[in-house]
Amino acid sequence: MKNSEIKKIVSVLCVTAVLAGFTACGKDDKTTETSFAELTPTPIPVETTTTPTTTIPVYSGPLPSSDIAVTWAETTLDTPVIMYAAVSEGEFLRVRKGPSTDYDIVGTLTRNQQVQIVAVTDSSWYKTSDGFYISSTYLTQQPS
């Protein structure tokens, strides 16, 4: 027998085996048909999340009471003025009991946080509506 004849016989046997396999896999009574809709995957609901936003409130008290003697001059403003903390992102502006860094810190402001100014001292510190002080160096009239 030639090589080409052997290949033909093997090919015929393989095709016959495949066809016999398909025939043997015919439908029986327990088989049910599946519709295309059943084969389509069901969408999985995706939970969406929103990024929380941070709102910085207007600076207001109450803060601890100021119990120090006034040894400086201050000029009261005719009308209170809103000013904004001018510090770098992530930094804090210190609010103090008196108009110098020698006084205790009673609170802090974050960047662009509002504060109401009611007076200015002779040493260029601003007095807040709560009676505490912030250096004029770190306040602006417009948010940065």
Could you report the per-residue pLDDT of 73-121, keeping only the tens digit for each? 999 999 999 999 998 888 889 999 999 999 999 999 999 999 999 999 9
Secondary structure letter of residue 5 according to DSSP: H
75 contacts 119 by C-beta, under 8 angstroms? yes
pTM over 0.75: no
**pLDDT of 138 strictly over 80:** yes
CATH of the domain spanning 74-140, picked from 3.20.20.70, 3.40.630.30, 2.30.30.40, 3.30.465.10: 2.30.30.40
At 69, is the pLDDT very low, low, confident or very high (cuts 50, 70, 90)?
confident
pLDDT in the model for residue 53: 59
pLDDT in the model for residue 45: 75
Handedness of CA 66, 69, 72, 76 (dihedral sign): positive
From the list 89, 141, 88, the residue with the least C-alpha distance to 116 is 141
86 contacts 138 by C-beta, under 8 angstroms? yes
138 contacts 96 by C-beta, under 8 angstroms? no
Provide φ and ψ at 38, rounded to 5°.
Answer: -70, -25
pLDDT in the model for residue 68: 72
pLDDT per position as a tens digit, 6-38? 777 767 666 676 666 656 665 555 555 656 556
